[in-house]
Amino acid sequence: MSVNLQINNFWIERNERQLCRDLSFSVSDGELVRIAGDNGAGKSSLIKAILGWIPIEEGLIRLNGEDITHNRDLLLFDQIYLGHTPGIKSILSVNENLRMYCPNASEVALNEALQQVNLELFDDTPAAQLSAGQKRRVALARLWLTKKRIWFLDEPFTALDAHGVAALEAKIQSQLESGGAVVITTHQPLYHLSPKTVELTP
């Protein structure tokens, strides 16, 4: 499992503001990239631009050497994105939510994943009854259920308790060790991980 994502000369403009100018970096297997910057510096926008749903003014993006600037499907099939809102349907149960995202996961794997995020007792609970942190942990459980080579985690530690933070850090570590790559934005200090930092300056 090897992966190489190259971002070349990205220019992103939002609401007449330049979020990044001529930004280049690359993410390879085993690498953790942390996008840093102040609030509103455009960290989330950069991830969205990489995933192709906000337009870039200029730039080139390559996945394993292939130009995917105009069609990101290759990248999309090989990644998991977790944004600020976890994408959890409140009327469905925890199990049903995970089944929607990971239809091929086995029952055992599902329970295993819920155990990892400390939700094993909640599998039949409607997501509406969960707290914000618990919802986020449901979304994070997807990381245990699917093998994708690149993760894009936008502020994944928000609303997580200490146990959750530790579990997520360990999972990120194991993803890196198995040859995956992780792009992350966070304001929290990372205790056990040593990321490569991409700084967004206004």
159 touches other proteins by CB under 8 A: no
In angstroms, give the least distance from the CB of 58 to other proteins: 6
In angstroms, give the least distance from the CB of 73 to other proteins: 6
In angstroms, give the least distance from the CB of 119 to other proteins: 17
For other proteins, which stretch binds (CB under 8 A), given 32-40, 96-104, 106-114, 177-185? Answer: 96-104
Question: Residue 76 belongs to what H/E stretch?
Answer: helix 73-77
User: HEC states along 119-178?
Assistant: CHHHCCCEHHHCCHHHHHHHHHHHHHHCCCCEEEEECCCCCCCHHHHHHHHHHHHHHHHC
Which position among 3, 88, 119, 160 is part of the footprint of other proteins (CB under 8 A)?
88
Would you say 24 or 197 has its CB closer to other proteins? 24
Please tell me whether residue 47 adopts helix, strand or coil conformation: helix
CA distance 91 to 101: 15
Q: Which residue has the tokens 């631009």?
A: 49
**Which amino acid, 117?**
V
For other proteins, which stretch binds (CB under 8 A), given 77-85, 112-120, 158-166, 183-191? Answer: 77-85
In angstroms, give the least distance from the CB of 99 to other proteins: 6
- Closest of 69, 39, 34 to residue 51, by C-alpha: 69
Residues near other proteins (CB under 8 A): 9, 11, 15-16, 22, 48, 51, 53-55, 57-58, 73, 76-77, 79, 81, 83-92, 96-97, 99-103, 152
